[in-house]
């Protein structure tokens, strides 16, 4: 029903969809959308428009295909034959480019293009040949629950977007993918399910609105994901020797896991971590991507937040929502337990493994555990 | 990350030209969004971005703040795009030059009016898939056509937001506008697009 006090505007809903509101306001708008037909209708229309506009660009010639075509253009000109030649060509290309700067002959547009291609594209070819085509690594199972479809594209590319609808079955979950999860939808990932008779290496629920990506080189037992924005809940099996589980957020922070259950939230450059079971290393990523651990977080620590500048702040277990700053995500209708189906692959039973349940932010956990279909569909 | 860009630039200048590919990979979409915003044509935009990378490489040693490669490169792309636009002196080409435009307008209208799903279904037959692909292509073509009708700055804001996924602040920095100006442009452009797409795609987009 329409909230008699409804004062949501189209502008506010757009800021919500664009994730431009502070965390606290995101939570307020989320609640408003959930409880007011008028706001929900406005939100759904605007979210549909946003998706339509984004899909308009999926055929753009940019992304990885742009890089590949640059290589092809060079290859068709016969300027590079093999990786060894490619490396030599880079050197000769460098010399040619240096020579070109002093040469009036090479000031023509065509010569400039050739000179630059001699330098740039052989480098791309050399890298491509040396690295070789990436083998697509299946990480386990994937399932979408909730209201809308999840968009999937190859990392670094805009051209290969598919949409996975909410459905009871499970699809393959691969490395090197970017998942866009709309509000009201949850992406459940099971790493290494059924792998060599072992338990899943991890189970993750990413609640929309969120963007989550997987590193192209990761495996179920050496997993590296990136929570670009949104909220994620993970249950990770104990790691064996040489195994790792890492979740970065926005390229700034990283949580390293030994074996645990935790909730991670990425908002406006800040990352919040709540550990329900086990122990998680929590730190920042340096300029070269190196991990610098700031603290270890256990269930007794409550919610710990790392700001963009790497400043650490802890939330006392007794702190209420008014003090918790960014720990109030906006997840209208989203749920880690989004499907009541017994075979849900990545859902922990409510309360399972949460010795410190009273110390986690209630709103976050409530929203992650809230049943799907808030509209009663 | 800015520090990452600084490292890439410094490595290229130190004799690792192959590292430039990292910058090509990282920023070709950004360049594409800017060039498309000016030119409203993906093929022209691709040429411009390619050329801009070449120019950027040539001038890399003159980049005073390597960490700000992104803004510097964006400026090159924008200037090149404007140059190309002036040289052409022809009416804007429609974005329909994409392969997406395979289906003709009449057919697209019919398909768009009868199929509203935007997702692939697991139970669909190959024929369904082909039909869906055609519908999706047609819808994308219509979306781009509507976007191409916006004025240049609005189109660029929409491109940067929906093609590159940038925040208001990032767009503001790139376009040298205030955040509120970006939001205002985006809001206005979306309002126009909502009306056009609701009619073109038969979408249920409530008046906001």
Considering the domain architecture, whether residues B119 and B78 belong to the same structural domain is answered as no
Considering the domain architecture, whether residues A205 and A267 belong to the same structural domain is answered as yes
> Among A18, A63, A126, whose Cβ lies nearest the Cβ of B18?
A126
Straight-line distance from the first to the last Cα atom of chain A, in angstroms, rounded to the nearest whole number: 15
Contact B193/A90, CB-based, under 8 Å? no
Domain count, chain B: 2
User: Quick one: how far is CA A162 from the chain centroid?
Assistant: 16
Which of B34, B65, B88 marks a domain boundary?
A: B88
- The ipTM (two decimal places) reads 0.75
| DSSP H helical ranges for chain B | 2-13, 20-39, 42-58, 69-88, 105-114, 126-148, 152-162, 168-175, 179-201
Task: For B147, name the nearest residue in chain A, comparing CA atoms only.
Answer: A53
Report how far residue A89's alpha carbon sits from residue B18's, in angstroms, rounded to the nearest whole number. 11
Structural domain range at position A38 = 10-55
Q: Which residues 6+ apart lie within 8 Å of B8 measured at CB?
A: B19, B20, B22, B23, B69
Residue-by-residue pLDDT tens, chain A, 377 positions: 556 667 778 899 999 888 898 888 888 888 888 888 888 888 888 888 888 888 888 778 887 778 777 665 544 433 233 233 222 223 333 322 222 222 333 344 444 555 555 555 555 555 444 444 444 567 788 888 877 778 787 776 554 457 777 776 667 778 888 888 877 788 888 887 544 445 677 888 888 778 888 887 788 777 888 887 778 888 877 766 677 788 887 666 777 676 677 777 777 677 888 877 777 788 877 666 677 777 888 777 778 888 766 676 664 333 333 333 333 233 333 333 222 222 222 223 233 333 333 333 333 334 333 333 333 33
CATH number at residue B43: 1.10.1740.10
Residues 10-69 of B with CB under 8 A from A: 15, 17-18, 20-21, 24-25, 28-29, 31-33, 36, 42-43, 45-46, 49-51, 53-54, 57-58
Task: For A92, name the nearest residue in chain B, comparing CA atoms only.
Answer: B17
Q: Is residue A3 part of a domain?
A: no
Considering the domain architecture, whether residues A127 and A159 belong to the same structural domain is answered as no
Q: Is residue B208 part of a domain?
A: no
B25-53: pLDDT as tens digits: 889 989 999 999 999 888 899 989 988 98
Considering the domain architecture, whether residues A234 and A365 belong to the same structural domain is answered as yes
CB B67 within 8 A of CB B3: yes
Structural domain range at position B129 = 95-201
Q: Is residue A156 left, alpha or beta, with left meaning phi > 0 and alpha meaning psi from -120 to 50?
A: left
Q: Which residues 6+ apart lie within 8 Å of A376 measured at CB?
A: none
Residue contacts between A and B (CB atoms, under 8 Å): 172
> Among B20, B118, B187, whose Cβ lies nearest the Cβ of A120?
B20
Task: Residue B34: name the closest of B95, B101, B80, B100 by CA.
Answer: B80
User: What per-residue confidence (pLDDT) applies to A67?
Assistant: 78
> Among A119, A167, A289, whose Cβ lies nearest the Cβ of B57?
A119
Considering the domain architecture, whether residues A329 and A237 belong to the same structural domain is answered as yes
CA angle B54, A95, A105 (to 5 degrees): 70
B127-161: pLDDT as tens digits: 555 566 676 778 888 888 899 899 988 999 999 99
Considering the domain architecture, whether residues A332 and A353 belong to the same structural domain is answered as yes
Question: With contacts defined as CB-CB under 8 Å, which chain A residues touch B61?
Answer: none
> What is the DSSP code string of B77-138?
HHHHHHHHHHHH-SPPPPGGGSGGGGS-HHHHHHHHHH----SB-TT--HHHHHHHHHHHHH
For helices B69-88 and B20-39, the axis angle rounded to 10 degrees is 40
Secondary structure element (H or E) that encloses residue A153, with its range: strand A150-154
């Amino acid at each position: 029903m329409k909230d008699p006090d409804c004062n949501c505007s189209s502008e506010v809903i757009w800021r919500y969809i664009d994730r431009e509101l502070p965390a606290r306001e995101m939570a307020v708008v989320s609640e408003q959308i959930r409880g007011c037909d008028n706001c929900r209708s406005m939100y759904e229309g605007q979210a549909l428009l946003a998706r339509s506009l984004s899909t308009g660009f999926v055929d753009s010639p940019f992304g990885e295909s742009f890089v590949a075509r640059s290589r092809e253009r060079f290859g068709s000109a016969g300027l590079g034959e093999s990786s060894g030649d490619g490396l030599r060509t880079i050197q000769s290309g460098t010399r040619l480019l240096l020579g070109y700067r002093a040469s009036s002959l090479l000031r023509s547009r065509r010569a400039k293009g050739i000179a630059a291609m001699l330098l740039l594209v052989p480098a791309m070819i050399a890298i491509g040949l040396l690295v070789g085509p990436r083998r697509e690594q299946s990480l386990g199972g994937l399932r979408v629950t909730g209201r809308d479809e999840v968009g999937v594209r190859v990392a670094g590319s805009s051209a290969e977007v598919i949409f996975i609808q909410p459905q009871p079955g499970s699809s393959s979950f691969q490395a090197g993918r970017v998942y866009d999860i709309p509000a009201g939808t949850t992406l459940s990932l099971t790493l290494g399910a059924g792998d060599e008779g072992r338990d899943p290496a991890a189970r993750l629920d990413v609640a929309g609105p969120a963007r989550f990506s997987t590193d192209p080189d990761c495996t179920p037992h050496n997993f590296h994901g990136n929570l670009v924005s949104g909220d994620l809940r993970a249950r990770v099996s104990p790691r064996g020797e040489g195994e790792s589980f890492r979740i970065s957020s926005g390229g700034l922070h990283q949580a390293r896991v030994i074996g645990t259950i935790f909730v991670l939230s990425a908002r406006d450059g800040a990352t919040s971590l709540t550990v329900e079971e086990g122990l998680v290393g929590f730190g920042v990523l340096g300029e070269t991507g190196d991990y610098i651990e700031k603290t270890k977080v256990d269930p007794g620590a409550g919610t710990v937040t790392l700001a963009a500048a790497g400043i650490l702040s802890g939330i006392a277990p007794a702190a209420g929502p008014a003090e918790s700053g960014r720990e109030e995500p906006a997840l209208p209708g989203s749920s880690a337990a989004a499907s009541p189906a017994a075979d849900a692959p990545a859902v922990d039973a409510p309360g399972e493994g949460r010795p410190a349940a009273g110390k986690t932010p209630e709103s976050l956990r409530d929203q992650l555990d809230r049943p799907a279909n808030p509209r009663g569909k | 990350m800015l520090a990452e860009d600084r490292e890439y630039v410094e490595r290229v200048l130190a004799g690792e030209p192959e590292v430039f590919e990292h910058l090509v990979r990282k920023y070709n979409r950004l360049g594409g969004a800017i060039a498309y915003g000016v030119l409203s044509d993906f093929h022209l935009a691709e040429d411009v971005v390619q050329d801009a990378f070449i120019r950027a490489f040539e001038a890399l040693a003159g980049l005073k703040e390597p960490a700000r490669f992104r803004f510097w490169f964006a400026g090159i792309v924008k200037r090149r795009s404007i140059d190309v636009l002036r040289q052409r002196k022809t009416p804007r080409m429609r974005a329909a030059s994409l392969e997406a435009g395979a289906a003709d307008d009449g057919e697209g209208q019919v398909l768009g009016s009868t199929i509203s799903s935007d997702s692939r279904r697991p139970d669909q037959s190959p024929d369904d898939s082909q039909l869906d692909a055609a519908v999706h292509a047609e819808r994308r073509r219509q979306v781009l056509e509507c976007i191409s009708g916006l004025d240049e700055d609005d189109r660029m804001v929409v491109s940067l937001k929906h093609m590159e996924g940038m925040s208001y602040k990032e767009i503001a920095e790139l376009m040298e506008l205030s955040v509120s100006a970006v939001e205002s442009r985006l809001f206005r452009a979306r309002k126009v697009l909502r009306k056009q797409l609701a009619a073109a795609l038969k979408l249920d987009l409530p008046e906001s």
